């Protein structure tokens, strides 16, 4: 299995390899503790399969649970995008899943999450715990300070509803962040709607330089289907 080279679009740490051809990639974050047979596992498989069928690479933490679901979904598509895993070395829970085209091993979470940011053009956040929350808020922080721009963050599933309510009712109402800083946050409840949203954002990105300025158009177009 080949080692993962550096992204061609954004910079990552110098020892991360050589240049990778620019390609649209979607990171899927989610729990290592959700097993095959769970509804969330099937949903993430469906999301990744749909995205891979569009030719997008799928980037995950390379481990079990919903990471495996995403990589398996990617590999289920003939002539789809590549299945990429950024694995972290842990004493428990984390081992590479068997559905990877490209794998990179990391000793430190900080290096690994920066690699995610370097490689990913869009982020899907499936149900998860502390590690998934770290990945979500790190991505959001980088977009807030404009180190990332064209990176939609798509929260998938009802698990995020109360968190979003709390952020809006408590944190935002305390003026600790502004509503416009949520412009790239989407909350989607159906796998097909996740795929559709990413496809449309990618399509429009190819037509204009700063698609991030136009995220609200997607919110208006499909607000009747899901909560954004």
For the segment 153-191, what is each residue's pLDDT rounded down to a tens digit? 999 999 999 999 999 999 999 999 999 999 899 999 999
Model-level pTM? 0.85
- Residue 1 to residue 177: CA distance in whole angstroms: 43
User: Where does the pLDDT of residue 23 fall: very low under 50, low under 70, confident under 90, or very high at 90 and above?
Assistant: confident
Strand partners, 123: 27, 153
Strand partners, 201: none
Specify the number of domains making up the chain: 1
Q: Is residue 8 part of a domain?
A: no
Q: Is residue 202 part of a domain?
A: yes
Average pLDDT value for residue range 77-86 = 94
Length of the chain in terms of residues written: 228
The stretches of the chain forming alpha helices (DSSP H) are 39-53, 66-75, 109-119, 130-144, 161-166, 191-205, 215-222
Q: Is residue 228 part of a domain?
A: no
Inter-residue contact 128 to 156 (CB < 8 Å): no
For residue 163, the domain's CATH number is 3.40.50.450
Q: Is residue 1 part of a domain?
A: no
Inter-residue contact 30 to 132 (CB < 8 Å): yes
The domain containing residue 51 runs over which residues? 21-222
H or E element that contains 90: none
Terminal-to-terminal C-alpha distance of the chain: 39
For the segment 120-162, what is each residue's pLDDT rounded down to a tens digit? 999 999 999 999 999 999 999 999 988 887 799 999 999 999 9
Q: Is residue 10 part of a domain?
A: no
Average pLDDT value for residue range 57-61 = 97
């Amino acid at each position: 299995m080949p080692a993962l080279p550096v992204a061609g679009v954004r910079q990552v740490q110098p020892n991360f390899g050589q240049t990778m051809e620019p390609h649209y990639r979607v990171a899927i974050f989610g729990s290592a503790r959700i097993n095959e047979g769970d509804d969330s596992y099937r949903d993430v498989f469906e999301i990744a399969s749909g995205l891979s069928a569009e030719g997008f690479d799928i980037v995950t933490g390379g481990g079990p649970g919903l990471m495996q679901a995403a990589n398996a979904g990617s590999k289920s598509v003939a002539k789809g995008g590549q299945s990429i895993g950024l694995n972290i070395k842990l004493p428990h829970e984390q081992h590479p899943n068997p559905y990877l085209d490209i794998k990179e091993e990391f000793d430190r979470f900080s290096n690994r999450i920066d690699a995610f940011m370097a490689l990913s053009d869009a982020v899907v956040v499936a149900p998860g715990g502390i590690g998934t929350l770290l990945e979500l808020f790190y991505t959001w922080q980088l977009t807030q300070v404009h180190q990332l721009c064209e990176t939609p963050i798509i929260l998938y599933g009802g698990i995020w509803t109360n968190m979003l309510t709390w952020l809006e009712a408590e944190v935002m109402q305390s003026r600790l962040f502004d509503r416009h800083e949520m412009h790239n946050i989407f909350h989607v409840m159906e796998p097909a709607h996740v795929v559709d949203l990413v496809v449309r954002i990618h399509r429009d990105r190819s037509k204009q330089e700063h698609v991030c300025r136009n995220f609200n158009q997607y919110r208006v177009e499909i607000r009747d289907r899901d909560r954004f």
